[in-house]
Amino acid sequence: MIKPHALRAFAQLASYTLPPWLRWVAASICIVLILSALRCAWHGEYGFTDMLRYGSVFEPYAIREVKHVHRRIFEGVGYDGQFYATLSIDPTLRREDMTKTMDRPQYRGRRIFLPWCAYLAGRGNPARTLSAYAIVNFAFWIGLVLLVFLRIRPGRLQEYACALAIIFSAGVTGSVMYALTDLPSAVLLFTALTIPVMWPLFLSAGILTRETTLMYAPVFFILEKLKGASTLSAVAKTAAALAAPILWYAYCMKRIPESMVMEQIFGVPFWAMFHRLASIVHHLPQTLYPAQILFFPVAISITAQIFYFFVHRKPTDPLWLAGAFTAVFIAFMGYGPWLDCSWILRYALPLTFAFNFLLARQTPRVFVAWFFIGNIGCMISPLSFPW
């Protein structure tokens, strides 16, 4: 427990104000670090496609354009980025051989925004298209830096701490490392919250990046009503945001006629987390290694972030609404995401973002009380950059 005099000392340090021009130096340093990470991600033989983690299980079914690209093939099933990268070769979903090269093709096909971006960037060249998909997370990572520094506009040390906790959280680096959809969807969501006049466009793109973004549609409806908009106007804007995803989902179901399986992703609040931690303790000392022990600080931080939104209620604040929706979602999360630390940290990215955005505004005493416990399990680690 932090003693009162230590709490006061940390609060005084957190309230120390730096010159305004320094925020842009800090933002530039963050971008340089991201570009350095991009350079490190380049493999001398395989280029950026090494991040896609193509698996040997699906390699026999790879489409011809992908087979002609020199890639490393990993043992086993590989990772999800390989499927979205393959969709980038032809994101129209018209090819039968495309559906045979991935697991759950209709589920993958619904997340089409990033494959379309890579397809347009690749301009018909398969190697360039796969590389474009591999590095699209880096573009969103730089976008996140700009979003954070424009929204927080850090001056005090606590604001810099919150900005860095967002930009370099393990959920962010995990999404970048495996070329996944978590970071881009979270950035699109918070861009919609930051630029209210264009929220239907960004929310629509976010849903087409990761369908779980759909759960934030009520947030924007509520915000429209809080601004004094009529119910008809709020419904119309929400419908405009949902129109493209609904049309694409209908097209996807027509092109890939498979049954939509609803996984059991929800359960008793916090039960999956407690079950995972109890399992680790039960199997000690066999589970006494970093990949398992990390679950404990991760669970502590995510739990703290969830409770923050119930202790500090601001129902008219867009960031609080987004964070509270995510807090309920994460609390009821089932077993699947808790199988791996990186999975739950990526699922919780909107929660971590909203938590630190709000914490940057708090008084130094409140900041000190929540910051470390809320971020210790979400901080960047050397494991986030295996390259």
Instruction: Give the SS3 label for residue 365.
Output: helix
Measured distance CA(300)–CA(304) in Å, rounded: 6
Rounded CA gap, 345 and 338, in Å? Answer: 9
C-alpha closest to that of 88 among 122, 48, 64: 122
pLDDT in tens, 302-350: 999 999 999 999 999 999 999 999 999 999 888 888 888 888 999 999 9
Q: Which residues of 87-122 are buried (b: 16+ CB within 10 A; e: fewer)?
A: bbbbbebeeeebbebbeebbbbbbbbbbbbbbbebb
**Residue 244 class from Cβ within 10 Å (0-12 exposed, 13-18 middle, 19+ buried)?**
middle
Both tokens of 30, joined, read 């963050």
For the chain, how far is it from start to end, CA to CA, in angstroms? Answer: 37
Collapse the DSSP code of 132 into the 3-class scheme (helix H, G, I; strand E, B; otherwise coil) and give the result. helix
**Distant-in-sequence, close-in-space partners of 60: CB < 8 Å, separation ≥ 6:** none
**pLDDT reported for residue 300:** 94
The three-class DSSP label of residue 337 is helix
Report d(CA 16, CA 355) in Å as an integer: 21
Q: Is residue 320 within 8 Å of 309, Cβ to Cβ? A: yes
CA distance 336 to 332: 12
Round to whole Å and give the CA distance between 128 and 111. Answer: 20
Helix (H) or strand (E) holding 54: strand 54-55
Name residues whose C-beta falls within 8 Å of residue 382's C-beta, 6 or more positions apart in sequence. Answer: none
Cα atoms in the Cβ-side hemisphere of radius 13 Å centred on 315: 5
Return the H-helix or E-strand segment holding 29: helix 22-41
* pLDDT tens track for 170-229: 999 999 999 999 999 999 999 999 999 999 999 999 999 999 999 999 999 999 999 999
CA distance 358 to 192: 17
β 54-55/73-74 pair status: parallel
User: Per residue in 172-188, pLDDT tens?
Assistant: 999 999 999 999 999 99
| Residues 346 and 169: beta-carbon distance below 8 Å | no
Residue type, 268: V
CA distances (Å), origin 142, targets 114, 164, 262, 353:
16, 13, 34, 15
Question: Hunting for tokens 């979903």 — which residue is that?
Answer: 93
- Residue 171's nearest CA partner among 334, 372, 341 is 341
Cβ partners under 8 Å of residue 282, min gap 6: none
- In a structure prediction context, what are the per-residue pLDDT tens digits for the chain, which is 387 residues long? 556 667 777 788 888 889 999 999 999 999 999 999 999 999 989 999 999 999 999 999 999 999 999 999 999 999 999 999 999 999 999 988 888 899 889 999 999 999 999 999 999 899 999 999 999 999 999 999 999 999 999 999 999 999 999 999 999 999 999 999 999 999 999 999 999 999 999 999 999 999 999 999 999 999 999 999 999 999 999 999 999 999 999 999 999 887 655 555 666 778 888 888 888 888 888 777 777 888 899 999 999 999 999 999 999 999 999 999 999 999 988 888 888 888 899 999 999 999 999 999 999 989 998 999 999 998 854 444 443
pLDDT, mean over the chain: 90
Paired residues of 96 in beta bridges:
none
Going by the DSSP 8-state scheme, the letter that residue 76 receives in this structure is S
